[in-house]
Structure 1
């Protein structure tokens, strides 16, 4: 009701206040947006002063509409037939390829008001990767998106926290430590091979179709669980399954190049992500507490990775009890994910390529017969030690060539947390730097005209002689952020391939569909189906 003085009712006042607040918020948003645009424009001008150009951005969305348009055009024109083509960058990241052809190996673009610098010059990539400054870190907006998956562990932390965590974890993956893990790796591999033998028997005793990527995930998970956490894959199976689900959910959100938005409400996907994050952390903390109890009951000079993380976190005077717990859980998540997912995917691509090139199966098998023994009771392959694996050139070349064509990590990504000198360029604070690894791995100026072909022999004399610029080979990164698990992964891959090739010959199944997909790492979207036959 209105009185004589024209006073509004409570409902009308509420509506007026809401309208006023919307206006105020709109003004604030436009002001902030203008300031962000000005900041981004200043960054662009500084980069362009060095002759670095790129596509012109729109005011609000930057180059995102153009990226979406290019991706849509590729989706309409691409045909996925039975021919296996290894150059997938033009399908997964077509905008990068188009802009590289237009602007060269270095250009600038934006998503919203975030400014990015694309760098595929090998010398600059080397300099950036080997820089020890803490002013260069992982892009904060990407690490924020990946927080449910990786917490604030070593894969996404920056600055002194990253340096502290690296100091705790790095030593546990030195080659002398990896040597002591060989026995556990062999046990895990034999379980998978036994399963494949059973598949052959169940499908008639001659030949069987196997989807190897899922089995390799389980086996790789078992290896990392036994070697680093003193437990088995079956015990930590729920952690792996939930991490895998979380990985797929985060990948759906296009966390790399989406436009910054304000989230007023949790979406259904976000609620599921939050729920999975809590469940994974709870499961890991239960495993940690069990491990603490086990360690208190026995005295041993041999410590596994989990014990080192526990001691490193608990002994740090700068961490309170809650922070120590979070550091432990976050790094366990990092190792659970990175320690098994990347290796399993790399092994899957290896088997796909070996199925296409049986001559390399023969080469590996010949070396296995030369260097390894056999248990006559069960025909299991006996790989004596890591030194023996290192002598096997064929399997090493196959792995190196697979990681060149299908590096699990597609990007090297950094953010200038402070102004940063790279070559003759001063990169402004806040600019994100991206290198597309598979593009660098296929550069014909570096690798020759056969850069898109599977030719392991290019690595016959090592990486330094495989291409014109050795630092252009980056499957494990380079410099300070070099993958800590490189030694573990290479020994694991060699052991798996030697055992598989010794026991089975295989070809691609007619059911195999070649379609690489980007889900935080580049993996076969529809799995890898092969037909296996006992040797």
Structure 2
């Protein structure tokens, strides 16, 4: 009798185990095969085509192959002046160029398990830019595959949690707040000016300087002092490790199921850097809590976390400490990396086009004289503004506008299935001949003489700070920073391209000068 009962129990256990395994296998099959296939099929039935994916990896193998072929065929670009080629998007993203030519301005492809609807059609972009539906949010991969850098901070979260974060952070970047930071921006810039003058040591011919390194230090100092009440030197290790994390993350592929959990060298480096950065930020938080401080952005984030017990805006899977860490990393990254890169590209273009450099310098000296730039003076610098807008057109620091259909959604007659990643390659829209005209690949700041609305056929296609309700909160801060710093530099120095400068834009989560920026810097008499 006992043996029969044991045999029956064993059979029940085996049956339940098999049932559980079958259910698990079924869920995996649905998630990895059926859902992506159904989503793709729905798009294909509407006439949207794209390259055929392979299991698990989607079109990643084909992307790799296209990039290898493009790299083998590419010739080294010339350096200097009119030989500086700005038609880089097709070289950096040859797969997107090839598929646009093959399938049209709207096509579908797969990055691992993620179905991506790539949009380069101006009218579709216009429709997307005006969409305010809550069913359109930030892609889930930002908080998963890019989690070590972004977590669930303001750049990657959705819904009520995002709205909660925006309510705290956005007011600190309103124009009225930014106006009060111009003297701080100039003070930090003055440190770089003195450093450059010291390197010259009275040498009239000037010296060669790696300006991109200085621009990272400068923008980091400004965001540190403006938002976190400390100098760059105090948070230097955080910025250096964030920069290293960014470079490591740019090597990985997104969307391959389970790949972020595999202990590859890239993932191990990523995990290590994340832990080190998180620990450093926690130390900053601990030090702040032990002292009295003004109501800067860091203090507002701390207060919001401490008071959340009354509001319950934090999701169940987000502790107060992670709310603080994620948003600190988001502000550190977005507040200094993109601005530093834009400063570097501005200096490259001013160095490459001395006529425009001379015109802007004349404007700066006429408006400011020997005085520091302030809000009113900066507002008068029309030519400088045109140069910055054109630089952001040719070299936007952000690569894509990315959204995810959180529910089924319709855009300009296209039914987009839930879970689809919507991708707008910013650089392709910024260098779209039908939008910008025949000189689309040329540096021509004059196109912005009468503003963005008159510079192109579809103003919504100009998106260096994103589009819609999820555009960059810090765009006023960034534009003011660019203007203050560049005007201060141009009033003291002239710039030309070093023979060592190699023009090679590269993708490392943002568009960066692959070999740095070496310029010849000479003090003005």
Q: Same fold judged by TM-score > 0.5? A: yes
Equivalent of 2:285 in 280, 288, 292: 288
Distance 1:263 1:116, change over 3 A: closer
Give the alignment of 1:5-24 within 5 angstroms.
none
Distance in structure 2 (CA, Å) of the matches to 1:133 and 1:313: 28
Distance in structure 1 (CA, Å) of the matches to 2:434 and 2:204: 49
Equivalent of 1:323 in 319, 323, 333: 319
Q: CA deviation at 1:113?
A: 3.6
Give the alignment of 1:87-98 within 5 angstroms.
87-98=87-98
Distance 1:35 1:286, change over 3 A: closer
Q: CA deviation at 1:522?
A: 0.4
Match of 2:218 in 1: 219
Distance in structure 2 (CA, Å) of the matches to 1:393 and 1:193: 24
Distance 1:68 1:27, change over 3 A: farther
Give the alignment of 1:500-519 within 5 angstroms.
500-519=489-508
**CA-to-partner distance for each residue in 1:117-143, whole Å, 9 max, x for gaps?**
111123322332333333222221243
Gaps of 5+ in 1: 1-20, 375-380
**Once superposed, what is the RMSD of the aligned Cα atoms?**
2.3
Gaps of 5+ in 2: 1-16
Equivalent of 1:312 in 299, 304, 315: 304
Give the alignment of 1:412-423 within 5 angstroms.
412-423=401-412
Q: CA deviation at 1:325?
A: 1.9
Give the alignment of 1:102-113 within 5 angstroms.
102-113=102-113
Q: CA deviation at 1:31?
A: 7.8
Distance in structure 1 (CA, Å) of the matches to 2:298 and 2:136: 28
* SS class of match (1:252): coil
* SS class of match (2:201): helix
Do the aligned partners of 2:52 and 2:59 also contact (CA within 8 Å) in 1?
yes
Do the aligned partners of 1:126 and 1:478 also contact (CA within 8 Å) in 2?
no
Distance in structure 2 (CA, Å) of the matches to 1:321 and 1:184: 38
Q: CA deviation at 1:110?
A: 1.7
Distance 1:469 1:323, change over 3 A: same
Match of 1:354 in 2: 350
**CA-to-partner distance for each residue in 1:54-113, whole Å, 9 max, x for gaps?**
222334533222222211110100012324211111111101111111221101112334
Do the aligned partners of 1:123 and 1:471 also contact (CA within 8 Å) in 2?
no
Corresponding position: 1:275 with 2:296 = no
Match of 2:200 in 1: 200
Count of aligned residue pairs for this structure pair: 499
Q: CA deviation at 1:26?
A: 11
Distance in structure 2 (CA, Å) of the matches to 1:284 and 1:128: 36
Q: CA deviation at 1:370?
A: 1.7
* SS class of match (2:516): coil
Do the aligned partners of 2:56 and 2:257 also contact (CA within 8 Å) in 1?
no
Distance 1:323 1:28, change over 3 A: closer
Equivalent of 2:64 in 58, 65, 68: 68
Give the alignment of 1:129-208 within 5 angstroms.
129-201=129-201, 204-208=203-207
Q: CA deviation at 1:34?
A: 6.5
Structure 1, 285-294 or 115-124: larger mean CA deviation: 285-294
* TM-score for both structures, normalised by structure 2: 0.90
* TM-score for both structures, normalised by structure 1: 0.89
